Structure 1
Amino acid sequence: MSQAHPTPALATQAPFPRLLGDIGGTHARFAWMDRPGAPLSHVQTYRCAEHPTLGDAIRHYLADQAQTRPAACALGIANPVTGDEVRMTNHHWAFSIKALRQQLALQRLEVINDFTALALSLPGLEGAALQDLGGVRPSAECLAQPRAPLALLGAGTGLGVSGLLPSAQGPVPLAGEGGHATLCAMDDEESAVLAILRGSFGHVSAERALSGPGLLNLYRASAAMLAAAADPALQPEQVLPRARAGDPLCQRAIDLFCRFLGSTAGNLALTLGATGGVYIGGGIAPRMLPELRASRFRERFEGKGRLRALLAPIPCFVIDSPTSPALLGAARALDRGH
């Protein structure tokens, strides 16, 4: 949800220049747009842990890039945005939207969920930025002007979930916290994994498996199931390289991740009626493309009993772009007026 509650086009758009941000639990990405229709420039990524507050990170970016004061700013943030006060779920940053706007002397500040921003970018993605995971790829025209709902999810520090719905006034992004919906099992092995995770967390959300920390959870659950010794020093970013090097516990974790991702993506497609396609963002899936394509992802995506035939033609894409598309989505949030 956007705190500024933007309305569709025909309203006054935000002025320029614009500061754009994609704020995750680990990294903060910023970009600059100096005029209408200009490409993103001065794209930089900073570690959140290196800055005490979001305001400090923004001021560091502006000084680092020698930029003038922006007139408007839009931030996609990995957190629900339901009021003026924002407190991140996967990082310690907390701030008041009103106070941040005043500190930065902005004419306008939009703060939206990061996956709402990513959803707004979907019609502009094309070519190499979209890696196929099966289904019938729609035409370029249908990708640019979707006539059916689009589903979006993605694993990084957490699990983001959103969607884009067509309307006469233009595509409408969804704001939600679907990553915290309950994770489901499709077979006895997955049920055993969930039982182990339930012992640790109580409620087992999809994010407990489909995220960087989730990969570690799956690794440790696999070790417990096999009565094997787990490496207590293993970090999330090490699971995939070790799987490729032949570590059986890491390989099992990757296999479980792909299966759970397919099941969760299929559930989301059914919930939204996303016959226009399912898009997978976040930082993990692009690095795992060979494993996803060789896995049971598609089998689990389509494996919904009587509605298998509905899901079979729905295309799935991994978003693989060198620049965070959520930055472009943040710019489009400002274009929607207020």
Structure 2
Amino acid sequence: MHHLAIVADVGGTNTRVAVSRNGEVLPDSIQKYPNAEHKSLEDILITYQKSHSAGPFDQAAVAIAGPVRDGAGRLTNLDWTIDCKALSGATGAQDAHVLNDLQAQAHAIGSIAPSNMETLKEGPDAGPVAAHLVVGIGTGFNSAVAYHTPSGRIVPPAESGHATLPVSTGDQFAFSEYARERFGHAAIEDALSGRGLGHCHDWHCHRAGQPIGASSATIFQAASEGDATAKAAINLFCGFLGTVLGDLALTTLPFGGIYLVGGMSRAITPWLDQTGFAEAWQDKGRFGPFLDQFPIRLVTDDYAALTGCASFLEEFRQTH
């Protein structure tokens, strides 16, 4: 018997909606909607159902770019509030769930095609119950760790991008002081995000008495053309990435691997071998070699959050 669900991935700019059947997203059902053209997620879901004949739905799940508590969440960069009751009302599904987008990404691991994965750092094979860590770098920064238990996969929510930025070098400390003075708090995503690369560049320009405000795209282009300041900004970004990933690895012990997702993760990957990323990653004293146990992979699937919602719903249905 087929079990149908409606799933959605709500970002700050666009929302993707799809139908899943028995835990698998139907590729032909995926549709993207600009948020600016709709007043709410419920409006998008109702519009979607009018143009697709699938249903009725047994379940519904949405992944949102913002914190979630007790089945309700508010998007960080959009004035939308989403809860399970409203989700059920818009879809007719009695079993409804709201997840943080990184939680959804973590639930997708294991269901993503190998062609949508790129290994950045090799590591030993791990058992089926090994934890894995998903780190999202895009408009902001966040992470989620998945634990595998006899009762199913557990992925606690987090807002790690707003934790204090760790520093271990003189340049990192100087940047953190600059960020603290500029923003009131030096958070991880002030360095590790799309605008974070801009902030890294701003700091170098500020020290040199040059204008600030370059976009990440401009910085990448300038670096590819040999611009020293742009290269220095990317190196600072990659050093912070190594430091933060190493800290998260030691905190969560993801022997199943670290998975990078998001637009900035993809953009920065070609630069990792040209920077101090590896040195920062292993700069953990006597525990530096211990980090060799954690492989690092890049996820290139644009629809991984939808896959994660579908996987979560199927596992929930089978265990409850």
Say if 2:223 is the partner of 1:243.
yes
Q: Does structure 1 retain, via aligned residues, the 8 Å contact 2:60–2:87?
A: no
How far apart are residue 208 of structure 1 and its match? 1.2
Say if 2:140 is the partner of 1:158.
yes
How far apart are residue 36 of structure 1 and its match? 5.6
How far apart are residue 331 of structure 1 and its match? 0.8
Letter in 1 for 2:31: Q
> 3-state DSSP class of the match of 1:284?
helix
Q: Does structure 1 retain, via aligned residues, the 8 Å contact 2:71–2:98?
A: no
- 2:281 is matched with 301
Say if 2:98 is the partner of 1:118.
no
Query: CA offsets per residue over residues 257-301 of structure 1, 9 Å max, x none?
Result: 211111111101000122222111112112332112332222211
Larger RCO, structure (CA 8 Å, separation 6 or more): 1
Q: TM-score, normalised by structure 1?
A: 0.85
Say if 2:151 is the partner of 1:169.
yes
Q: Structure 2 vs 1, CA of residues 37 and 85 (structure 1 numbering), >3 Å: closer, same or farther?
A: closer
Distance 2:16 2:92 in 1: 20
Q: Does structure 2 retain, via aligned residues, the 8 Å contact 1:114–1:326?
A: yes
Q: Structure 2 vs 1, CA of residues 272 and 74 (structure 1 numbering), >3 Å: closer, same or farther?
A: same
1:43-54 alignment to 2 at 5 Å? 43-54=30-41
- 1:6 is matched with none
Distance 1:170 1:106 in 2: 22
How far apart are residue 110 of structure 1 and its match? 1.0
**Equivalent in 307, 310, 315 of residue 328 of structure 1:** 307
- 1:149 is matched with 131
- 2:162 is matched with 180
How far apart are residue 65 of structure 1 and its match? 4.8
Letter in 2 for 1:176: A
Runs of at least 5 residues in structure 2 that lack an aligned partner in the other structure = none
Distance 2:8 2:35 in 1: 12
**Equivalent in 264, 267, 270 of residue 250 of structure 2:** 270
Letter in 1 for 2:297: F
Q: CA RMSD in A?
A: 2.4
Query: CA offsets per residue over residues 9-48 of structure 1, 9 Å max, x none?
Result: xxxx9x8322111222233222222456564432233333
How far apart are residue 237 of structure 1 and its match? 4.0
> Percent identity at matched positions?
30
Letter in 2 for 1:83: D
Q: TM-score, normalised by structure 2?
A: 0.89
Q: Does structure 2 retain, via aligned residues, the 8 Å contact 1:26–1:157?
A: no
Q: Does structure 1 retain, via aligned residues, the 8 Å contact 2:7–2:18?
A: yes
1:83-232 alignment to 2 at 5 Å? 83-136=70-123, 138=125, 142=126, 146-230=128-212, 232=213
> 3-state DSSP class of the match of 1:106?
coil
Runs of at least 5 residues in structure 1 that lack an aligned partner in the other structure = 1-12
